[in-house]
Structure 1
């Protein structure tokens, strides 16, 4: 009887040491973190959204979409330096991502530091070249419009 009680006590103890229910559902890929981040954004919880997007990058640092999503959030928050850092990382991971260059150009132009205009134009041109190579006509038109609008800014 003592042995049975010891076994029951040990089982109860081990169950109590197990993961909490919210920890048991662990995300396994970056898409799950991106989805969770998007849900947080919809709820207006930017802090947790950014945490999830950051974790998506850590889980899958070779996926440029993870960087692009986080970069866009920083851009919308007018945190231009963080947007530039994140989107620059995206261009290193995926040098043929026209989307990364497009948002990088926009971030640089919005920051308005000395030299940003010239670099923004170069990034916008790079995005246009990539979209042209990929025969992505819709995005190509947007990139061309971006280059033109940046070129007209004094």
Structure 2
């Protein structure tokens, strides 16, 4: 009888010490932050939009779209260095993103620092090559126009 009680006590103790089922706490995904950033942009809340886009990058640093969206915001704000930094990061995350190279080329050309024109042309050519490989005719045409327009700038 003592053995039976001792055995039951051990079982109760082991069951009581067992791990509780984990409750999954759903983390916000980067799309939620991108959406919040887009809404903030619509409301004219630029600082809040940038914070949301930056958080999207932190939540999902492997998603090039997060960088591209933030880079475009910086480009529109004429903060060319921040755009270049952000879009350069996008090309490292996704070296086959024609869109990242396209906006990187535009940012470099707009900044107009020494050496930017040559690098902008190279980035624009890279975007065209990627769009060609991906058979993205619409974007390919835009990239070709970009290369041509950059080549004509003195």
Normalised TM-score (structure 1): 0.83
Distance across 2 between alignment mates of 1:42 and 1:108: 26
Runs of 5+ consecutive residues of structure 2 not aligned to the other structure: 1-25
Q: Do the aligned partners of residues 135 and 90 (structure 1) sit closer, same or farther apart at CA in structure 2, a change above 3 Å counting?
A: same
- 5+ unaligned residues in a row in structure 1: which ranges? 1-25
Q: What whole-Å deviation, never above 9, does each CA across 1:107-140 have from its counterpart, x for those lacking one? A: 0000000000000000000000000000000000
Q: Detail structure 1 runs of 4+ shifted over 4 Å in the superposition.
A: none
Map of 1:3 onto structure 2: none
Query: 1:27 Cα shift?
Result: 5.8
Match of 1:112 in 2: 112
TM-score normalised by structure 2 residue count? 0.83
The SS at the match of 1:74 is helix
* Cα distance in structure 2, aligned partners of 1:99 and 1:74: 15
The answer as to whether partners of 1:27 and 1:33 remain within 8 angstroms in 2 is no
Aligned alpha-carbon RMSD (Å): 0.9
